[in-house]
Chains A and B, each alone.
Chain A
């Protein structure tokens, strides 16, 4: 990675953000009982009369001594949430200035950091046509360095198979925020996976990164275009009229994804990569309700 996406200034900016769990924090789970997942801290909730079958270890003997009645102590165990960032590392992510992958790494690092700060587990899973080495961190926010170390190693290469990555996402628990960072070009196969995630209680989030040249190409003349991932070529004669049609097709492509995500209760953000990280956060991630 030619540029260091994780300099000090970048890390300071992360301190100002807070992750938003829209569905994972709300809903009927709050106050209804302890979570079913193990682990996490136990929080005292109150006493109730002893009933047959209760664990003797939960009987509060101090209360029995004062009242000669058996009460058991109830604790609400806080379930640890997981933020999984699926980062597209295919060859197409190398395009743009800065490269889409660079901006994608920042986004992934940001979500991981915010998860650590919130005491949640952060999983960063780069993928191209397969799932690459993943890193899972939790506990102290200092472990973000493990994430950054992984991200620094990643290079854009290969094709795009997000469906496989989504299916094999690590630590895909029920209370999981799944963030897909990709240009979504040739990623239609993941459309089947997103509804499945929602069905399992996950909160998917799609962040589409596109370079300025992809959004507003300025190429004209007789061209032979080569697909960076598949190696396929296409000869075209591009004039202003063709560029106009291209932009129309791109808008249709984006709107198609937007409506798809809306139908499946999935957040969707499209952002150009030539924006600064601040602008990206302010104009897109905050506006999209992903962070605050």
Chain B
């Protein structure tokens, strides 16, 4: 218990004063009276009723003293320190596990140093203390739950650094916000960049000078590959090996200036048919994870199109231009799940049976459906307005002849319209053509823009694969599993299974750079993630070993919450005063 105004304790002098006054009043006094006859009778009555003739404990004095004591204490502003969970402390530990933590440091790695320092820190805690662990970047396995120091050490040992780029400052702020309800607590951040941590938060630093080479950029043209190499440290030479599929790697050596960058150019390489590319900086530097670069060509993906309603050979022929398109004929299947087997639904002369939730093209709708209201017939409409939309660019819609068109009433986006009615509208995944695309109704199918239109429709459903594709670590990719129990594996730098997925689209955001592949049946989809021009590669940081004072400096006292006792004391004093009055009465 502490006192906000210790000088108020002088008021406690009222206690002995009250006691002295009471004792003075309670002293035995000699008093002559005219006669003690009545007093004798009084004493006799008191003794007969059993009432104490003389009170050994003066309740009035006790209450008066209690009142003086409580009031005196209340004046001093007593505060009680209340710690969370009784006497235990709460430590919020935020551990940096970004890519730079893998850097070599003092014969080991920054991550190993961090684990050692954190183990020392948690070992300095009492068994009753509680630890809440946060990681930067976040780890889904870490939940906001209290750990004993021993358990925290086990969890820390099981943690691994990632190849992700970290933002220790934002992640610390987020962790402190998440731990807001745990107050009071003490936060300690373990990172290789303790200089980023604001004052007031204890920081353990495991950084230091690092000589590191890393990839900064990648460019592949028809017959050349260019790789940018960054150098953190002294000027040096670096050898870069480039491996294309299973071909023997080729090497190039480049001179790298101190703290600078150089480009390594591999020429006379036909990359057009290359499926996988792997580049590696052959150097013994601080961080190995950023010495490897992967790129992979995305396989051509089949696009399944269901054509319902009227058969139209012009539409089929235009779709067949795309080599990946597989056209099926038949009625629209019942149920949304059955429809998921197709990438595109084309309703020619009919309307969809169910609400449109997947890519759908409706041609010449005979009746209203979804959000489209179909009215009467518009004779020989002319395309008078075209939206500047990529879908209709180069499609040759302007000037085509149309015999009849449906009159559409809709709030959908108008891509093409005549003066009387919208001709082509789009609403989410729905594309509606108001007129029949049959040769008898329009000359558009025999124009060069017609297959371009359908190619763009297909492109919007399934974007064409790029050449040699790659992503930066930290990006999220949508993986399409075509088969149930599709397997996701890391192929490089080491082979290991990541997980198994059912058919469908799955978001994937790996923790480590490398080449991944989702395979199922005969299909396989590669995905390459790289540490490319990352700030992690250049992180130097500084050292700041853990010292017990980091906890004790803001230890129990500051971590505790102050709880004022003045109100309680005043209330009790008031109650004792009322009791005193009652007794006196």
Alpha-carbon separation in the docked complex, A242 to B39 (Å)? 10
Give min CB distance, B21 to chain A, whole Å: 12
Contact yes or no, A224 B54, CB < 8 A: no
- What 1/0 flags go to B24-39 for Cβ under 8 Å of A? 0111111111111111
Contact yes or no, B33 A226, CB < 8 A: yes
- What 1/0 flags go to A72-93 for Cβ under 8 Å of B? 0000000000000000000111
| Complex interface residues of chain A between 229 and 243 (CB less than 8 A to chain B) | 229-230, 232-237, 240, 242
Contact yes or no, A221 B26, CB < 8 A: yes
Q: Which residues of A contact B585 (CB under 8 A)?
A: 240
Q: Which residues of B contact A183 (CB under 8 A)?
A: 34-35
Contact yes or no, A223 B28, CB < 8 A: yes
Contact yes or no, B36 A233, CB < 8 A: yes
Residue from A92, A219, A242, A246 within 8 A of B35 (CB atoms) = A92
B40 contacts the other chain (CB 8 A): yes
Alpha-carbon separation in the docked complex, A228 to B39 (Å)? 13
Q: Which residues of A contact B33 (CB under 8 A)?
A: 95, 214, 225-228
Residue in A223, A229, A236, A245 with the greatest tally of chain B CB atoms within 10 Å: A236
Contact yes or no, A228 B32, CB < 8 A: yes
Q: Which residues of B contact A221 (CB under 8 A)?
A: 25-29
Q: Chain B: interface residue count, which band?
A: 20 to 34
A253 contacts the other chain (CB 8 A): yes
Contact yes or no, B34 A225, CB < 8 A: no
Q: Which residues of A contact B45 (CB under 8 A)?
A: 245, 249
Contact yes or no, B38 A224, CB < 8 A: no
B123 contacts the other chain (CB 8 A): no
A185 touching B35 in the complex, CB below 8 Å, given contacts A221-B25, A221-B26, A224-B28? yes
A255 contacts the other chain (CB 8 A): no
- What 1/0 flags go to A87-122 for Cβ under 8 Å of B? 000011111000010000000000000000000000
Alpha-carbon separation in the docked complex, A245 to B39 (Å)? 10
Q: Which residues of A contact B578 (CB under 8 A)?
A: none
Alpha-carbon separation in the docked complex, A232 to B46 (Å)? 19
A133 contacts the other chain (CB 8 A): no
Q: Which residues of A contact B27 (CB under 8 A)?
A: 221-222
Q: Which residues of A contact B29 (CB under 8 A)?
A: 221-224
Q: Which residues of A contact B40 (CB under 8 A)?
A: 234
B55 contacts the other chain (CB 8 A): yes
Contact yes or no, B36 A234, CB < 8 A: yes
Give min CB distance, A230 to chain B, whole Å: 8
Alpha-carbon separation in the docked complex, A123 to B523 (Å)? 148
Give min CB distance, A101 to chain B, whole Å: 11
Q: Which residues of B contact A230 (CB under 8 A)?
A: 36
Residue of chain A at shortest CB distance from B35: A185
B465 contacts the other chain (CB 8 A): no
Contact yes or no, B31 A224, CB < 8 A: yes
B574 contacts the other chain (CB 8 A): no
A15 contacts the other chain (CB 8 A): no
Alpha-carbon separation in the docked complex, A226 to B28 (Å)? 13
A186 contacts the other chain (CB 8 A): yes
| Complex interface residues of chain B between 209 and 238 (CB less than 8 A to chain A) | none
Residue in B33, B35, B43, B55 with the greatest tally of chain A CB atoms within 10 Å: B35
- What 1/0 flags go to A206-222 for Cβ under 8 Å of B? 00000100100001111
Q: Which residues of B contact A223 (CB under 8 A)?
A: 28-31
Give min CB distance, B50 to chain A, whole Å: 14
A249 touching B31 in the complex, CB below 8 Å, given contacts A222-B26, A222-B54? no
Residue of chain B at shortest CB distance from A185: B35
B143 contacts the other chain (CB 8 A): no
Residue from A93, A224, A240 within 8 A of B30 (CB atoms) = A224
B42 contacts the other chain (CB 8 A): yes
Residue of chain B at shortest CB distance from A90: B34
A250 contacts the other chain (CB 8 A): yes
Number of residue pairs spanning A and B whose beta carbons lie under 8 angstroms apart: 93
A228 touching B35 in the complex, CB below 8 Å, given contacts A242-B42, A242-B46? yes
Contact yes or no, A249 B35, CB < 8 A: no
| Complex interface residues of chain B between 389 and 426 (CB less than 8 A to chain A) | none
Contact yes or no, A185 B42, CB < 8 A: no
Give min CB distance, B372 to chain A, whole Å: 98
Residue of chain B at shortest CB distance from A226: B32
Give min CB distance, B436 to chain A, whole Å: 113
| Complex interface residues of chain B between 261 and 300 (CB less than 8 A to chain A) | none
Contact yes or no, B31 A226, CB < 8 A: yes
Q: Which residues of A contact B54 (CB under 8 A)?
A: 222, 235-237
Contact yes or no, B42 A232, CB < 8 A: no
| Complex interface residues of chain B between 38 and 61 (CB less than 8 A to chain A) | 38-43, 45-46, 53-55
B584 contacts the other chain (CB 8 A): yes
Alpha-carbon separation in the docked complex, A249 to B40 (Å)? 11
Q: Which residues of A contact B31 (CB under 8 A)?
A: 219, 223-226
Residue of chain B at shortest CB distance from A217: B33
Q: Which residues of B contact A229 (CB under 8 A)?
A: 34-35
Give min CB distance, B46 to chain A, whole Å: 7
Alpha-carbon separation in the docked complex, A101 to B426 (Å)? 125
Q: Which residues of B contact A246 (CB under 8 A)?
A: 38-39, 42
Residue of chain A at shortest CB distance from B28: A222
Alpha-carbon separation in the docked complex, A240 to B42 (Å)? 13
Q: Which residues of A contact B55 (CB under 8 A)?
A: 237
Give min CB distance, B29 to chain A, whole Å: 5
Contact yes or no, B42 A236, CB < 8 A: yes
Q: Which residues of A contact B46 (CB under 8 A)?
A: 242, 245
Residue from A95, A185, A240, A242 within 8 A of B37 (CB atoms) = A185
Contact yes or no, B26 A185, CB < 8 A: no
Q: Which residues of B contact A226 (CB under 8 A)?
A: 30-33, 36
Residue of chain B at shortest CB distance from A94: B34
Give min CB distance, A250 to chain B, whole Å: 6
A95 touching B34 in the complex, CB below 8 Å, given contacts A234-B39, A237-B55, A240-B584? yes
Contact yes or no, B28 A235, CB < 8 A: yes
Q: Which residues of B contact A93 (CB under 8 A)?
A: 34
Contact yes or no, B36 A227, CB < 8 A: yes
Q: A211-B34, A227-B35, A242-B42 are in contact. List 8 more A-B contacts (CB 8 A).
A: A223-B28, A226-B31, A228-B33, A234-B43, A236-B39, A249-B38, A249-B42, A250-B38
The chain A residues found within 8 Å of chain B, CB to CB, are: 91-95, 100, 183, 185-186, 211, 214, 219-230, 232-237, 240, 242, 245-246, 249-250, 253
Task: Enumerate the 4 nearest inter-chain pairs by beta-carbon distance, A residue then B residue, closest first.
Answer: A92-B34, A185-B35, A237-B54, A95-B34
18 A-B residue pairings within 8 Å (CB atoms): A92-B34, A92-B35, A186-B35, A219-B31, A222-B28, A222-B29, A223-B31, A224-B28, A224-B29, A225-B36, A226-B30, A226-B33, A227-B35, A227-B36, A230-B36, A242-B42, A246-B39, A246-B42
